[in-house]
Amino acid sequence: MNKDSLSKWKSLASDELKGKPLESLNWVSSENIMIKPLYTKKDLETVSHLDELPGLANFSRGPRATMYAGRPWTIRQYAGFSTAEESNAFYKKNLGSGQKGISVAFDLPTHRGYDSDHPRVLGDVGKAGVAIDSVEDMAILFNGIPLDQMSVSMTMNGAVIPIMANFIVAAEEQGVSKSKLTGTIQNDILKEFMVRNTYIYPPEPSMRIVSDIIEYTSREMPKFNSISISGYHMHEAGANLAQELAFTLADGKEYVRAALSKGLDIDSFAGRLSFFFAIGMNFFMEVAKLRAARLLWARIMAEFNPTRESSSLLRVHCQTSGVSLQEEDPYNNIVRTSYEALAGALGGTQSLHTNAFDEAMGLPTEFSSRIARNTQLIMQEELGITKVIDPLAGSYYVETLTEQLAEKAWEIIQEIEDLGGMTEAVASGLPKSRIEESAARKQAAIDQGKEVIVGVNKFKPNQKEDVEILDVDNVTVRRTQIDRLRHIKATRDNDLCMKKLNDLEITCKTGEGNLLEQAIDAAKARATVGEISYTMEKVFGRYKADTKTLSGVYQEAYEKDDSFLKIQEKANLFADKEGRRPRILVIKLGQDGHDRGAKVIATAFADMGFDVDVGPLFQTPEEAAQDAVDNDVHIIGVSSQAAGHKTLVPVLIEKLKILGGEETIVVCGGVIPKGDYQFLMDLGVKAVFGPGTNVLDAANNLLDILMNK
């Protein structure tokens, strides 16, 4: 391309724009990267990685020389619900239909280290994953699935010690030695303190747990990935792609340091580290993100002077975005997931999970799960994308984006290093506040229509689609688990079990020995997940996060907007009439730690003129009702994402009546199937706001309810 050609193009483009400047086609991404309408060879002049080849440092073109031409990515669908028996049957069916690996979703009580009989988990057992309380549960989960042949990924962080222990014991009792086990344990606790909140212990002992697992697996389980460092949950909490990339890799760097502090050699464990990213709807930016991740990780690992090239290689599992799924016009979600999956494949992922289209409303059904799995099978078998290694290499746009995104992420990584590393950054609250601000800005853009969601804020359908929803009978599942727990405790050698738990407690106190090694002995003696977790909690304590909220994001986004100003005026009218501002308590009930929606509501409502209280995470309905009465709030807003509302909201309303708070308005929002709306309204819930609800509309609705009370 010469100067004359470029000049000619600019002239043609200007004519087509009918007087508008060419720069009007530029747009700025949420990562603060200027996106141009045209990229040329000239844009590649500053790109440093163009001559790389697949399988060779710095791995921008993929970690394996032949990539999918030699072997396609692993189809690894994340699943688990109800009991171990039901999840086992589901896994077997999927494996028979083309799935290549198992990815286990555990329920929230298991994540938080509670057995199913604990009083704090009333509404959570078996709801958002499978309930695992014991070796017996784990043995049932993998019954008939040969663990020496099947790769198993487990998303577990808080209760990672007892879950790993139970998995190892169940495998050994199946006849499979731990040295033959393949798969991944997530074991990424730092991101839990930032976004997902399924932590148990404070950061310092939590980091000891991480390093003990890395130490044990590097010694005893050479085929098993000791950690999956996750950006997925940051993405889902609202992080932009530069933040997701930077915070994830910075977490990885911190875990490397933790492992080295145990005296491990870098090459003994670095090759078993893996990463986990979300794939959202900004197609080319997502492709660039995976390429940039490999570049940056190689740069980070160079600081530790590994001798094996494989120690600098970033391997990644990806999952299509859950937050991009919408309740409105839900079959659009199939299309969204397909595009996201394609971006993950073209970015060079090693394994992939595709979300089911109905997950914005509840757990996926067998029908929706089949479509999600077949999305990948069609990509592998029909599209031809596995025939060529890294087909987007050399793209002016993609290569430029890769370089720019890497630069943006590196700036954030250096900022974290200046704070003393990721543990110190997490303690300061910086990553969490950045992600929450990004989430609020994104939601404001959607509410304003600046960011289009087809079927939600533009091109809305004329009629609603009725979609079948999987409903787990939480009461029955809990009863089944409690019966099994009683049997285990009645038939085990309790003296031996207590001795092994005492040995674990001593290891916690002294800092000597390996926590996982001790927990395996306890699991063999049939100590439960809850008992092992509580033994460690007695020494380490249970972490409670400070609840902080942002303000000003919506005020800035809606400056001089008439609809926003009218809501503020309405809130002022209420205040003039009642002598105080409308006051709302935003709460999460049970063990559901996904607080993105709650935080966005708190931020937005505060800017619109409400007094906003945010309850602490993991409240019981009784505790939330007491807070509401003590603080004399007008409204309780229950944010639900893990399907516990049908069990927990009735208890909340009953407790309010007992405490004299029956005049308090209760509303619900989040991932709530439309079929549950009437159930909640019959209880006395005044409004239900499902996924895709415009936040301003919700605030306006609540003010109307208050003023017409």
By DSSP bridging, strand 273-279 and strand 227-230 are: parallel
Strands (E) in 88-219, as ranges, are 101-104, 152-154, 183-185
d(CA 582, CA 250): 41
Inter-residue contact 669 to 601 (CB < 8 Å): yes
- Three-class SS state of 101: strand
Catalytic residue among 49, 111, 191, 233: 233
Consecutive H or E run containing 400: helix 396-418
Tell me, yes or no, if 232 is annotated catalytic: yes
Strands (E) in 137-218, as ranges, are 152-154, 183-185
Inter-residue contact 597 to 669 (CB < 8 Å): yes
Catalytic residue among 253, 408, 500, 588: 588
d(CA 12, CA 512): 73
d(CA 491, CA 524): 13
Which one, of 401, 367, 438, lies nearest residue 195 by Cα? 438
Instruction: Provide the CA 382 distance to its chain's centre, in angstroms.
Output: 30
Tokens of 631: 């603080």
Q: Where are the alpha helices (DSSP H) in 303-365?
A: 332-347
d(CA 192, CA 200): 10
Tokens of 561: 């907007």
Tell me, yes or no, if 68 is annotated catalytic: no
The total number of residues written for the chain in this structure: 709
Inter-residue contact 223 to 215 (CB < 8 Å): no
Task: Report long-range pairs for 494-498 (Cβ below 8 Å, ≥24 apart).
Answer: 496/525, 497/522, 497/525, 497/526, 497/527, 497/531
Catalytic residue among 317, 500, 594, 599: 594
Inter-residue contact 189 to 112 (CB < 8 Å): no
Which one, of 464, 510, 450, lies nearest residue 694 by Cα? 450
CB atoms within 10 A of CB 449: 12
Which one, of 208, 138, 228, lies nearest residue 536 by Cα? 208
Catalytic residue among 115, 251, 592, 676: 592
Output the furthest CA–CA distance in the chain (Å, rounded).
87
- Three-class SS state of 257: helix
d(CA 418, CA 161): 32
Query: What does the CA dihedral 262, 266, 268, 272 come to, rounded to 10 degrees?
Result: 100
Sheet holding 316-320: strands in order across? 224-225, 183-185, 152-154, 101-104, 74-79, 351-353, 316-320, 273-279, 227-230
Q: 611-637: b or e for each residue (b if 16 or more CB lie within 10 Å)? A: bbbbbebbbbbbbbbbbbbeeebbbbb
d(CA 25, CA 36): 7
Catalytic residue among 68, 78, 543, 554: 78
d(CA 509, CA 539): 6
Tell me, yes or no, if 588 is annotated catalytic: yes
Phi/psi of residue 64, each to 5°?
A: -120, 145
- Say how many CA atoms lie within 13 Å of 665 toward its Cβ: 19
Tell me, yes or no, if 592 is annotated catalytic: yes
Tokens of 402: 């890769």
CB atoms within 10 A of CB 81: 21
d(CA 132, CA 113): 10
- 183, β-bridge pairs: 152, 224
Catalytic residue among 68, 91, 232, 558: 232
Instruction: DSSP for 673-690, please give it.
Output: -GGGHHHHHHHT--EEE-
- Say how many CA atoms lie within 13 Å of 500 toward its Cβ: 23
- By annotation, the residues acting in catalysis are 78, 232-233, 588, 592, 594
